[in-house]
Structure 1
Amino acid sequence: MLPYGRQSIAESDVEAVAEVLRGDWLTTGPAVGRFEAELARWTGGVPCVSVTSGTAALHVAYVAAGVGAGDEVVTSPLTFVATAATAALLGARVRFADVRPDTGNLDPDAAAALVTARTRVITAVDYAGHPADYDELRQVAGEAGAVLVADAAHSIGSAYKDRPVGSLADLTTFSFFPTKTVTTAEGGAVAAADPALLRRAARFRNHGLVRSPPSSAIPARAAGTRRCTSSGSTTGCPTCCARSASASCAGWSASASGGPSWSSGTTRCCPACRG
């Protein structure tokens, strides 16, 4: 019987997990920032916010896009339930557009036919790692005044017209579930080039908290304070997962052009690698 999925874990990965567990940071530690910086190498420099799962990444992305009650999200029915469920969780109506028969990806014409004045987001899904038709979808989203989201759970490391996945949509979500190309056991990330979208994503993953700078004039605030400026959730990436993902990225080799490329076709999992 074919297995549902199979990851590759080396002894060095196990040792790296143990190193994290013996350290001071089990979550949201320095390794998380290093992992996010490594991820940005694969998105063409587009910064990333790491979270606890691909589902959390979609939730965070929809919040950053401003999805709420009364809005509509147009997406593909050929996807995991989270692509639609996280939008519905925010009160949006999900509208399913047909896919192209050759790729299984969202058909831009079908998406355009469902656009209304309430359309807030158009979400493409890179089915089986094949990027959607982002130039056409960008035009549809632009004419609708909608945010373009890429559900890239399958496609980290892929490119569309020589542009890396992560740089093609306003918001891109990744999944690091065990069946994905790179795994952290559980994990995900959101990429956004727009600083405002990235800031909203980063705030929401951490309860909407914002750290105020230290104040020498107010002794009680000598070390700075944190304020909750908006609603949010706790979806920050644990350090073990971040270390895992950093090692996964390290398992990829540089291509002849100097950019990253896959070094093997197996799922790489190092649940606490060197960050």
Structure 2
Amino acid sequence: MSALPFIPFTRPSFNQETIDAVGEVLRSGWVTSGPKLAEFEATLSDYFGGRPVRCFANGTATMKIALQVAGIGPGDEVITTPISWVATSNVILGVGAKPIFVDIDPRTRNLDLSKIAAAVTPQTKAIMPVYLAGLPVNMDELYAIAKQFNLRVIEDAAQAFGSQWNDKKIGAFGDLVSFSFQANKNLSTVEGGCLVLNNEKEALLAEKLRLQGLTRQGMDGMDVEILGGKDNLTDLNAAIGLHQLKQLPSYQIRRTNLARQYFDAFRAKLKSAGLEHLQLELPVENFTDTNWHMFQVVLPLEQLNVDRAQVMTELKELGIGTGVHYPAITGFSLYKNLGYQASDTPVAQRIGRSILTLPLFPGMADEDIGRVVEALVNILQQHAKK
């Protein structure tokens, strides 16, 4: 094992001000949904240009409730990507609808918009794109397709808080937009998420759905009109989110700087090692739209004598943590048993076997980038086929 400090693939950043804010909430005696949550939702609404925002216990709940707000249910189909955390398609199944997996663009690793039209049927009611690692799809094309086929769009923007399209924040426009605030996200409340909605009618429905369908009537009355769940966010989480939002601009600058260093270091190291012929696929080099939630490479496994697991093991032995985001959903037993075929999305299968998430978080040191790149390139050199 390496004598150097371990570099995890991600680490949340909470400053002392945030820690103090949590203490204040604990001392206040009101720790569940209350004034801090209301403040957080109002601040998020301002961030998204005045659109209604409601927060939830996690990013899975935001997507589930977005589907319910959109009226998606049994017999409906929702087009989505096979490269995502399985929650994306699980929530579609959870409301009784059917996920329709469309293959991905090998360059962006996002839903291939050019293949959506062929997947639309009379049962198709929505598109749920995922913005992998924070990179949005072509939003103009996405919404043109939705308009053409009269479809709702539920944006799984779990990883895209702070990303933008044509100088507009993701979430400040469009249809229903879901974000996650889980521990490894650019803005973290430890667990949580928010849903950006179109109007107050949708926002009121989302409120009912997140807390048992409850409707309050004056000071002493209540009613339950619809079936809801228990998906509310606490004031503890909201207090963290308020301070994270203040730090977001500096986090974004740092993530962008680290990503630039990755590109420069990979080019230099591959050239010096004589490995420019290796088809190591780097992310889209985009410093305008993406928030650099993750830095992911696709390993050239066809040119190596080892698999991804071995590469990850050797990196770990050198004190470097990595992640897999994500294996193709259609390879999971649940989906195979439902009749999904991996062969229907061949690009996703290849990417799912080969993608590797490298360390990227605001607290990384500059020298960590060089250490990660040198370690990975040396491993590729050692195991490259002759």
Q: Give me the TM-score of the superposition, normalised by structure 1.
A: 0.86
SS at match of 2:126: strand
CA distance in 1, matches of 2:253, 2:43: 16
- Is the counterpart of residue 169 in structure 1 residue 174 in structure 2? yes
Structure 2 residue aligned with 1:257:
none
Structure 2 residue aligned with 1:43:
48
- 1:153-175 Cα distance to aligned partner (Å, 9 max, x none): 11111111122100333100000
SS at match of 1:91: coil
- Is the counterpart of residue 85 in structure 1 residue 90 in structure 2? yes
CA distance in 1, matches of 2:233, 2:125: 27
CA distance in 2, matches of 1:46, 1:253: 21
Write the letter of the residue equivalent to 1:20: V
Structure 1 residue aligned with 2:233:
237
Q: CA deviation at 1:2?
A: 3.9
CA distance in 2, matches of 1:117, 1:93: 13
Deviating more after overlay: 183-192 vs 10-19: 10-19
What stretches of structure 1 move > 6 A for 4+ residues in a row?
none
- 1:11-64 Cα distance to aligned partner (Å, 9 max, x none): 332222121111131111110011111212332322210001111111111111
CA distance in 1, matches of 2:248, 2:185: 15
Q: Give me the TM-score of the superposition, normalised by structure 2.
A: 0.62
Among 144, 151, 170, which residue is 1:146 paired with? 151
Q: CA deviation at 1:243?
A: 0.4
> In 2, are the aligned partners of 1:117 and 1:144 still within 8 Å (CA)?
no
Q: CA deviation at 1:96?
A: 0.5
Write the letter of the residue equivalent to 1:114: A
CA distance in 2, matches of 1:47, 1:38: 10
SS at match of 1:153: coil
- Is the counterpart of residue 132 in structure 1 residue 137 in structure 2? yes
Deviating more after overlay: 102-111 vs 238-247: 102-111
Q: CA deviation at 1:267?
A: 5.7
Query: Mapping of 1:86-125 within 5 angstroms?
Result: 86-125=91-130
> In 2, are the aligned partners of 1:5 and 1:178 still within 8 Å (CA)?
no
Structure 2 residue aligned with 1:67:
72
CA distance in 1, matches of 2:362, 2:210: 26
> In 2, are the aligned partners of 1:180 and 1:267 still within 8 Å (CA)?
no
CA distance in 1, matches of 2:362, 2:207: 27
Which entry has the higher C-alpha Rg, 1 or 2?
2
CA distance in 2, matches of 1:248, 1:139: 34
Q: CA deviation at 1:264?
A: 3.8
Write the letter of the residue equivalent to 1:251: Q
CA distance in 2, matches of 1:90, 1:180: 26
% identical aligned pairs: 33
Among 6, 9, 30, which residue is 2:14 paired with? 9
Change (3 A) 1:210 1:153: same
- 1:204-256 Cα distance to aligned partner (Å, 9 max, x none): 111111122x3xxxxxxxx24111111111111111000000000111349xx
Structure 1 runs not aligned, ≥5 long? 215-222, 255-260, 269-275
**How many pairs are equivalent?**
253
CA distance in 2, matches of 1:139, 1:48: 24
Change (3 A) 1:111 1:150: same
CA distance in 1, matches of 2:202, 2:139: 19
CA distance in 2, matches of 1:253, 1:58: 26
Structure 1 residue aligned with 2:194:
189
Write the letter of the residue equivalent to 2:237: C
Higher relative contact order (CA 8 A, sep 6+): 1
Write the letter of the residue equivalent to 1:183: S
SS at match of 1:226: strand
Structure 2 residue aligned with 1:52:
57
Deviating more after overlay: 34-43 vs 78-87: 34-43
Change (3 A) 1:253 1:13: same
> In 1, are the aligned partners of 2:14 and 2:244 still within 8 Å (CA)?
no
CA distance in 1, matches of 2:220, 2:151: 37
Structure 2 residue aligned with 1:31:
36
Query: Mapping of 1:208-223 within 5 angstroms?
Result: 208-212=213-217, 214=218, 223=219
CA distance in 2, matches of 1:72, 1:267: 39
Write the letter of the residue equivalent to 2:43: E
CA distance in 2, matches of 1:235, 1:79: 22
Structure that is richer in helix per residue: 2
CA distance in 2, matches of 1:248, 1:173: 18
Write the letter of the residue equivalent to 2:231: T
Structure 2 runs not aligned, ≥5 long? 1-5, 256-360, 364-386
> In 2, are the aligned partners of 1:181 and 1:267 still within 8 Å (CA)?
no
